[in-house]
Structure 1
Amino acid sequence: MKTYLTDAALAALAPLVWGSTYLVTTEFLPADRPLLAATIRALPSGLLLVLAARRLPRGTWIWRSAVLGVCNIGAFFALLFVAAYHLPGGIAALIGSLQPLIVLGLAAVLLRDRVQGRHLVACLLGTAGVGLLVSASATTLDPVGVAAALGGACCMALGIVLTKRWGRPPRVGLMAFTGWQLTMGGLFLLPLTLLFEGLPGRVTTTNLMGYGYLCLVGAVVAYAVWFRGVERLPAVAVSFLGLFSPVVAALLGLIVLGQHMTPLQVVGAAAVLAGIVFAQLPPSATARLHRKGEHEHQDRPGLCRQGGRDGVPSA
């Protein structure tokens, strides 16, 4: 249980950092450059990790890294920054917090994971929290921003499930694995950036500070602990940790930008946090109850302990 909570706490650092993306984008980066922000966040950090690890993907891991890079990094980053430019930070992150529900469905299909009642309850809590926070906002929702936020949630959900399904190549370190995906995602974004946006005519010191934070902290550090969590935690459980991102975004908006939260928004934030806790804590308790039930079943009088399945004597 202690190891599980430690893994969950480390993985939670990633969405805590990602929650600051919206504030950094609106306050530190050039206006109307979402693809550029995504590319600078992914490509330099990926190349840095690949050079440090001195390992390149081989065989099937070339296309697998490309797929994971597009889902987890390339398409996700692009949609994330489009949403950040078209929606308030808290709203964009909260729409994206529907991701656990998507992961729940994908994991059932691709990983054969059993849909558990506690996960459904956690999804309902998270979704209810999202609904309260969004409906309580007086801001008009931009359809482009809403579509981008939902698309980003779908991309990241698929990336989590595929990462869990494929695992990591033998004898390949976490830094190299993270670097492959960041590099592939950055290479996917680079031509789109040059084609649709180009480079800004002027970059300020503030812009460079924002890009540096997103690259080193928001990508290198955050994705390293995130992929570690994806490896060690159930896919659905780790996806719920992403709900920390909207909470952080809302709190930063409240503290730094002077935004206000209504009582309904406070209730919504509490529901989101309850969903996270409910998804993370029960697994070990559920396992203990299951094992206890098995032992009680085996110890019932009249059943052969050396017999076949469910206490039925073997033929």
Structure 2
Amino acid sequence: MSGSRLAAMATAILWGFTYLLTTDMLPHHPALVAAVRALGGAVFLLAIGWELPPRDWLGRLFILGTLNTGVFFGLFFIGVMRLPGGVAAIFQALGPIAVLLLAWGILRKTPSAMQFLSVAMGVVGVTLVVLRAGVRIDGIGVAAALASTVSLSLGGVLMNRWGKAPIGFAAFTGWQLLVGGVELALVTLLIGDFGGGITVTNVVAFAILAVLLTGIPFLLWFKAISRIGAVNVMPFILLTPVTALVLDAVFKGLIPTAIQLLGVAIVMAALVVNYLASRAVG
């Protein structure tokens, strides 16, 4: 497996920790959490790789930052906080399908039957992993989770179309996070999504979220997209809910059922099929 695929895999696994952190350690204020996540990640990356983008890239960085950070983060946390039982992860699993369709329309890359098979298997697998009986479905949460997935998918496809700005990856990623962070901070101020006092636990969680679950993973994610394409990178996001399942078992004692383990096996099989499909296309 190539270094880019390993980077995408590591990113998806790290993102799996976000669910545990969000439900157990962060305040229940999605706009605030999203803004701190983006701005913290931006400060970290720009501190280690400061570069100014060329003027002709400002518009594209604004669009990419809005899609990959502003819209994605804001709607992601709304979905996670309103959809119990990990249902939001099902909509995240639709990301590979969204990327295939968007790449087909924007990049004129016709998906193969094996690629469609792999993402269909992934959706089935993730559904078995996270969906439980008796879960109430919140309409706003569903809309937010679905829209966040489409936003991140479109951002990845546009990165394929435009390429990378002529600056380092840390700066390229950091500027996108800064754009989204400023947008989310403005939303937080407008709606007053502050809540009560911030605890020490919240501060520690914010630091982990900004650096370990945002700055570093997004740097790896964007590198992988630039090298092997969004179509080959997005399927690894299926590992995020699988990681969340493992963490629930380890830290909360929620032992997975046989159905959930079957779902994990199907997700792994889907990744193998996707890898074989990418080799056949390549």
Note whether the superposition's TM-score is higher than 0.5.
yes
Hey, what does 1:278 align to over in structure 2?
273
- Greater Rg, structure 1 or structure 2? 1
Query: Given residue 247 of structure 2, which amino acid in structure 1 is its aligned partner?
Result: L
**Residue type of the alignment partner of 1:160:** G
TM-score relative to the length of structure 1: 0.84
Measured after TM superposition, the shift of residue 145 of structure 1 is 1.8
Task: Single out whichever of 126-135 and 96-105 deviates more from structure 2.
Answer: 126-135
1:153–1:110 CA distance, 2 compared to 1 (3 A): same
Question: Residue 39 of structure 2 corresponds to which residue in structure 1?
Answer: 43
Match of 1:188 among 183, 190, 194: 183
Q: Report Cα offsets for 1:189-243 as digits up to 9, x if no partner.
A: 0110112234344111100110000001111111110101001113211010111
Q: Does 1:203 align with 2:223?
A: no
Is contact 2:64–2:158 with CA below 8 Å preserved after alignment?
yes
1:80 alignment partner AA: F
| Aligned partner of 2:12 among 15, 22, 26 | 15
After superposition, the Cα gap between the structure-2 partners of 1:138 and 1:285, relative to the gap in structure 1 and judged at 3 Å, is same
CA contact (8 A) 2:85 2:130 kept: no
Determine the C-alpha separation between the residues in 1 that align with 2:43 and 2:147. Answer: 26
| Correspondent of 2:210 among 215, 222, 227 | 215
Partner residue in 1 for 2:53: 57
Q: Report 1:229-248 matches (<5 A).
A: 229-248=224-243
Q: As a proportion of its length, which structure holds more helix? A: 2
State the Cα deviation string for residues 283-306 of structure 1 (Å, max 9, x = none).
Answer: 33555xxxxxxxxxxxxxxxxxxx
Worse-superposed segment, 20-29 or 256-265:
256-265
Counterpart position of 1:151: 147
The correspondence for 1:79, drawn from 66, 75, 79, is 75
Counterparts of 1:158 and 1:139, CA distance in 2: 29
In the alignment, structure 1 segments of 5+ residues that lack a partner are: 288-315
Choose the corresponding residue for 2:122, options 115, 119, 126. 126
Amino acid at match of 1:176: A
CA distance in structure 1 between the aligned counterparts of 2:218 and 2:76, rounded to whole angstroms: 15
**3-state DSSP class of the match of 2:252?**
coil
Count how many residue pairs are aligned between Structure 1 and Structure 2.
282
Q: Segments of 4+ in structure 1 off by > 6 A?
A: none
Superimposed CA distance per residue, residues 11-43 of structure 1 (whole angstroms, 9 cap, x where no aligned partner): 21111111111110111111x211111110111
Cα deviation per residue 1:52-92 (whole Å; 9 max; x = unaligned)?
Answer: 43322233311111111111111101111111211236322
- In structure 2, the CA distance between the partners of 1:186 and 1:286, relative to structure 1 (3 Å rule), is closer
Give the aligned partner of residue 266 of structure 1: 261
- Unaligned runs of 5+ residues in structure 2 are none
For the 8 Å contact 1:35–1:197, the answer to whether it is kept is no
- Correspondent of 1:114 among 110, 116, 120: 110
Equivalent position of 2:25 in the other structure: 28
